[in-house]
Amino acid sequence: MNTDLIAHIEKAIATDVGRSIDELAAMASGGLLAAAKSITNNPAPKIGIITGFFIPHATPPAAENDGLVGTAHMVAGFVGAGFAVRITTDTLCESALRATVAASGANVPIDVVQHKPGGNGTSMEGVIAAWQDAGITHAISIERCGLSHDGKPRNARGDDISAHTAPLDELFLGGPWDTIAIGDGGNEIGMGALDKEIISKNIKNGSTIACRTPAKHLIVAGVSNWGAWGLLAAMATLLPQKRVELTATLSPEKELEMLRHINQHGPSVDGMAGKPKDTVDGIEFEFHEKILKQVIDIIS
């Protein structure tokens, strides 16, 4: 029964919004269940989250709100359930990440990787060591631009954004932890779990932007924030004794509150609109609310 519910959740969060992700989602089918089981089967999960996708051409230049709102939900749910959590981004996304943690209502360690060697923040090696010392059991990357097959991080247009993006792929793969990734466009960390040809065939600029970094468990969502809802909901079906805590923030009201807080205080921007808005990926809030209500209804 739980397996059936999680399959329904996975289908809901993989609703296509015009990116042609249906084949990607089909190839990743079962990833949500596997990811949820990996965490819930561990008696004491210690979770490291990687996020932050910087949009240099936005006004103002800032991290996009997709991935950040989902991270706020995960931090709140995981901490509420008693799991250890720490969260990581790079220098240019630091302010948005701090707003994300504040929106979650939790207090967790934040690691900031140097955007450029010798700059502000901690070296990649230092953060990997910190995660290893903390005993991280699961690395979750959500809406984080990964390295394409030519070794450069690329946005959906195919632009090389190396100047604005530290290769956090190295952290994702840098320890003994299980790797879970959430993405929606083919260029995010974890999408290397799929055959490049599937991304090339289905996604605009796919042959250029396809990420080479794999994840053990891949969750393909219509919008990456939806993948975070799905993971929390799936875990709640497997851990009914922690359901209230895991899903405490899964409501349209809390979603909008978090979105507005991160947009204002990050700041963060709608990556498609290029400015702070109560939208994500150019999609009006009402559509996000519709998908969230579907997820809530499934687990109710």
> Is the per-residue pLDDT at 1 higher than 80?
no
**Per-residue pLDDT, 117:** 73
How far apart, in whole angstroms, are the C-alpha atoms of residue 33 and residue 234?
7
Chain-wide mean pLDDT for the chain?
97
Residue whose token pair is 């702070």: 276
pLDDT in tens, 190-220: 999 999 999 999 999 999 999 999 999 999 9
**Per-residue pLDDT, 254:** 98
Reduced to 3 states (helix: H, G, I; strand: E, B; else coil), residue 108 is coil
Q: Provide the percentage of residues in the chain whose pLDDT is more than 90.
A: 96
pLDDT category at 115 given cuts 50, 70, 90 is: confident
The model carries a pTM of 0.97
> Is the per-residue pLDDT at 119 higher than 90?
no
Kindly tell me the sign of the dihedral angle through the C-alpha atoms of 181, 187, 192, 193: positive
pLDDT in tens, 35-75: 999 999 999 999 999 999 999 999 999 999 999 999 999 99
Integer angstrom CA distances of residue 129 from 123, 176, 247: 10, 12, 31
The answer to whether 75 touches 49, Cβ cutoff 8 Å, is yes
Measured torsion, CA atoms of residues 242, 245, 247, 249, in degrees rounded to the nearest 10:
180
How far apart, in whole angstroms, are the C-alpha atoms of residue 298 and residue 300?
5
**Cβ atoms within 10 A of the Cβ of 265, count?**
15
Domain ranges within the chain, ordered by starting residue: 2-299
The answer to whether 60 touches 32, Cβ cutoff 8 Å, is no
Residue 288 sits at φ, ψ, to 5 deg, of: -60, -40
The answer to whether 146 touches 192, Cβ cutoff 8 Å, is yes
The answer to whether 12 touches 230, Cβ cutoff 8 Å, is yes
Measured torsion, CA atoms of residues 239, 240, 246, 249, in degrees rounded to the nearest 10:
160
Q: Over range 85-99, report the average pLDDT.
A: 97
Q: Over range 265-274, report the average pLDDT.
A: 96
Q: Which fold has domain 2-299?
A: inorganic pyrophosphatase (n-terminal core) (3.90.1640)
User: Which residues does residue 64 pair with via DSSP β-bridges, in sequence order?
Assistant: 269
pLDDT category at 2 given cuts 50, 70, 90 is: confident
Integer angstrom CA distances of residue 21 from 16, 25, 193: 6, 6, 14
How far apart, in whole angstroms, are the C-alpha atoms of residue 88 and residue 79?
16
> Is the per-residue pLDDT at 283 higher than 80?
yes
**Per-residue pLDDT, 239:** 97
> Is the per-residue pLDDT at 116 higher than 80?
no
